[in-house]
């Protein structure tokens, strides 16, 4: 396998995952974590991480079923592609478009503190889930007696009252 570079990203951001090898010519399946799946190809260069960092150069890609298949420059057979199975696809965060004031990316609000309207601390954001009807904010419960996470529907203005990007907190209408 040809390694283009062994540099790692300065501000790593996970945007996808490499699946299994596809065919005998070095193609592989990938899974995009971007909101619009095809936008994964707008963010270059890619770094693969699986025990070590590899900076890769995308040669070709095609839509295949509900995902994509890709060919990386320097990968010429199934065995080489198989070595990259389960690698994370990472980019430098600085390749994302610059946002306007008070806009944010989902990964930016991970670890934000969450308070209800009575200023009671509920916990910190540990993840977000996309569902068919609305997104879900997953908050690690601050109460040690209740070990379950809090799932708060991400409904702007109704439940999510304020996201303060300066002080990194979210105010919600929640008990």
Is residue 39 one of the residues assigned to a domain?
yes
Identify which of 107, 80, 94 has the alpha carbon closest to the alpha carbon of residue 18.
80
Q: What is the pLDDT of residues 82-106, one digit of tens each?
A: 999 999 999 999 999 888 887 888 8
Q: Quick one: pLDDT at residue 40? A: 96
Domain boundary among 63, 94, 125: 94
Size of the chain in residues: 175
Q: Quick one: pLDDT at residue 4? A: 47
Domain boundary among 94, 119, 138: 94
Is residue 100 one of the residues assigned to a domain?
no
**Is the domain of 132 the same as that of 164?**
yes
CA distance 139 to 147: 11
**Is the domain of 61 the same as that of 127?**
no
**Is the domain of 56 the same as that of 17?**
yes
Q: What is the pLDDT of residues 105-119, one digit of tens each?
A: 888 899 999 999 999
Across the beta sheet with 121-129, what order do the strands follow?
Answer: 150-154, 135-141, 121-129, 113-116, 169-172, 160-164
Query: What is the mean pLDDT for each group of 10 consecutive residues in the chain (175 residues)?
Result: 62 94 96 92 94 93 94 96 96 90 86 95 92 91 79 94 93 93
Q: Quick one: pLDDT at residue 5? A: 47
**Is the domain of 79 the same as that of 117?**
no
CA distance 22 to 20: 6
The CATH code of the domain that includes 21 is: 2.40.30.60
Domain boundary among 44, 73, 94: 94
Q: How many domains does the chain have?
A: 2
pTM of the model: 0.76
Q: Quick one: pLDDT at residue 71? A: 97
CB of 137 closer than 8 Å to CB of 130: no
Across the beta sheet with 46-49, what order do the strands follow?
Answer: 53-56, 46-49, 88-92, 12-22, 27-32, 67-72, 58-64
Q: Quick one: pLDDT at residue 147? A: 75
**Is the domain of 118 the same as that of 62?**
no
Show the domain range for 118. Answer: 106-172
């Amino acid at each position: 396998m040809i390694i283009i570079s062994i540099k790692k990203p300065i501000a790593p951001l996970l945007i996808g995952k490499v699946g299994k090898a596809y065919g005998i010519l070095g193609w592989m399946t990938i899974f995009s974590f971007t909101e619009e799946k095809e936008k994964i190809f707008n963010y270059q260069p890619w770094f693969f991480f699986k025990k070590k960092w590899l900076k890769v150069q995308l040669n070709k890609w095609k839509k295949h079923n509900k995902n994509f298949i890709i060919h990386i420059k320097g990968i010429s057979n199934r065995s080489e592609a198989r070595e990259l199975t389960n690698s994370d696809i990472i980019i430098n965060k600085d390749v994302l478009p610059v946002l306007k004031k008070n806009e944010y990316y989902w990964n930016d609000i991970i670890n934000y503190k969450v308070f209800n309207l009575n200023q009671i601390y509920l916990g910190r954001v540990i993840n977000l889930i996309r569902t068919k009807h609305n997104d879900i904010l997953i908050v690690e419960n601050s109460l040690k007696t209740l070990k379950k996470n809090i799932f708060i529907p991400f409904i702007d203005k109704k439940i999510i009252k304020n996201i303060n990007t300066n002080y990194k907190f979210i105010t919600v209408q929640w008990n």
